[in-house]
Every structure is written in structure tokens, then in C-alpha cells.
Amino acid sequence: MNSLRALLSAILILSLSHCTTFEDRSACGCRLALNLDRVSEVLHPENALRLALDGPDGFSLSERLYSPDDGSPWSMMIRVPNGEYILSAATASLHIPTGEESPPLYLCRVPLDASGESLTHTVIVHKNYCLLTLVIKSAEGGEYPYSLDIEGNVDGCEADGTPTVGPFRVTAVPRVDGIVNVRIPRQADNSLTVSFTLGENHLITFALGQYIAASGYDWTAPDLDDITIEIDWASTTLTFTIDAWTTVLPLDVWL
């Protein structure tokens, strides 16, 4: 008798928490499983993944998620109404305050078809910033005495990665070896400039964006490459190195 009562109780619990094969399963929605392991490869453990899911009938979900500290598999499971969704994910803020470099931003924005009973999707984010390395060689050698202002007309992006128009400016001081590292956002034009100053004195500005365009760099690539530019004041040349591609241009685009 006790075993029969336990069996009936179990059947009742299942009927309340799950759809049965005799019911219209569309009322149960879709069991959505998001695999986030690929995100954890580029997300700093202290930073949150900003995830948003927008769907039919005004459905909207927004979460800030942290990757596991122990390196275990990372996933998120949720039951959603059946329908078409847009999944957005970002590893940092989309807006860049004036005076700051771009954060190490990776993005994802994809449609999801959750019309079935279940859906498993691996979230893959794309690199939406460029690490610009300037290697500055002075004619005199030794410690580099100048500071640099890098300016442009893009201050961030939309959720889909489209650049947003706004002032971008970051000041950097070369290390003793003459190297400067600055993260810059995906660009919409060739307006980037770099200005050299010594104390309060402006020395020169040149059209960084035009040099980058001349190198064949692609700002529309899903994942942005990093750029290394060698500026040699002694020979008045600008050497561009992007991956294995290198070219030398005369330093003659003055503003």
C-alpha cells in the first residue's frame, strides 16, 4: 500500500512539473541550453558576461554571469516560450568614456530558433577591439621624452558591433623602451590621429587612420587583428606590421 501511494505521488509531481506525451507540448516552451565555455577563454574571471535574450510577446531576459573559478564547464539553462529570439552577449561595456582606451570587448549577437522542445547553442564571441602597439625609435636613442594623444570619432558600439559616433581620446606615455600599447575600438572611418607633445608643446600630428587604411587593414572583419606600427624618426619612415604582412611608408601624411 505504501509503495502504491509513493508511486501515485511521484506521478502527480511529474505531471505538475513536466508536459506529458498526451499534452500540447508547445505550452511547455523550449529548453534552451547555452554553452559558455568559449566565452570563458577570453573573459577575465573578475569581469561579468552581459547576456541578453529578446523574443516574442515582449520576452526579455538580461543577466550578468561570471565564469566558474575552478575552470569547470560553463553553461546556462532556461525554459523559454517557443519562438524566434535574438541572443546578445558582451564581455565589457559598449561605451568608452573620453580619456579611456577601449575595454577588451568581445561581442555576440545571433538569432536563435527556439520553436522546438529543446535547443543547445554554443556562444561564440568576437573580438571587437584592436590592440595598437606603437614602437617608437628616436634619433637620439634612450628614454622617449614625449607623450601621445590618440584621437578618433568612435566612442563604442551598438550591441551588434556597429561603431557609435562620439569623441575618443586617450593619452599614453611610452615606456622607457619607446613602446606604447593602446586598445582602440572598431572604426567607422579613417579619422584616427596620433599627436606627439613634449610637456605643454604640441609637436606634430599625423593621420594614423590613413596609414592603417593604406596597409589594407579590415575594420569590418568579425575578429579584429592587432596592429604593430614602428615609427622610426631617424629614417623618417613608418613601418606597418599586421600579422605576417609588413610595409614601409614615408612619414609624410602631416596634419
For 210, the 3-state DSSP assignment is: helix
Residues 38 and 137 in one domain: no
Residues 219 and 235 in one domain: yes
CATH number at residue 181: 2.60.40.2630
Residues 104 and 134 in one domain: no
Kindly state the DSSP code that residue 39 receives in the 8-state scheme: H
Q: Torsion angle, CA of 50/55/58/61, rounded to 10 degrees?
A: -20
In a domain, 13, yes or no: no
Residues 135 and 243 in one domain: yes
Residues 212 and 137 in one domain: yes
Distance CA 206, CA 195 (A): 7
Residues 33 and 117 in one domain: yes
Q: Which of 42-46, 165-169, 204-208, 215-219 has the highest mean predicted lDDT (pLDDT)?
A: 165-169
Average pLDDT over residues 185-200: 91
Distance CA 74, CA 209 (A): 39
Residues 148 and 44 in one domain: no
Contact of 230 with 132, CB cutoff 8 Å: no
243 — alpha (psi -120 to 50), left (phi > 0) or beta? left
Predicted pLDDT of residue 176: 79
Domain boundary among 81, 105, 126: 126
pLDDT at residue 2 greater than cutoff 70: no
Strand partners, 134: 180, 229
Residues 89 and 153 in one domain: no
* Percent of the chain topping pLDDT 90: 58
Predicted pLDDT of residue 236: 67
Structural domain count of the chain: 2
Cell of 135: 614602437
Q: CB count, 10 Å around CB of 198?
A: 10
Instruction: Give residue-wise pLDDT tens across range 101-122.
Output: 999 999 999 999 999 999 999 9
In a domain, 110, yes or no: yes
Domain boundary among 69, 99, 126: 126
Residues 121 and 154 in one domain: no
Q: Is the pTM here over 0.85, yes or no?
A: no
- Range of the structural domain that residue 239 is part of: 130-250
Contact of 53 with 60, CB cutoff 8 Å: yes
Residues 118 and 73 in one domain: yes
Residues 40 and 116 in one domain: yes
Instruction: Give residue-wise pLDDT tens across range 218-227.
Output: 999 999 999 9
Residues 245 and 142 in one domain: yes
Q: Which of 27-36, 81-90, 170-179, 231-240 has the highest mean predicted lDDT (pLDDT)?
A: 81-90
In a domain, 255, yes or no: no
Average pLDDT over residues 141-166: 89
Average pLDDT over residues 234-247: 71
Contact of 115 with 56, CB cutoff 8 Å: no
Please state, rounded to an integer, the average pLDDT across all residues of the chain: 84
In a domain, 3, yes or no: no
Q: Which amino acid is at 121?
A: H
In a domain, 5, yes or no: no
Per-residue pLDDT band at 251 (split at 50, 70, 90): low
Cell 579590415: give the residue. Answer: 218
Instruction: Give residue-wise pLDDT tens across range 10-31.
Output: 333 333 334 433 344 556 899 9
In a domain, 34, yes or no: yes
Domain boundary among 74, 91, 126: 126
Sheet-wide strand order for 126-127: 60-65, 49-54, 84-90, 106-113, 126-127
CATH number at residue 82: 2.60.40
Distance CA 190, CA 184 (A): 13
Cell 629614417: give the residue. Answer: 235
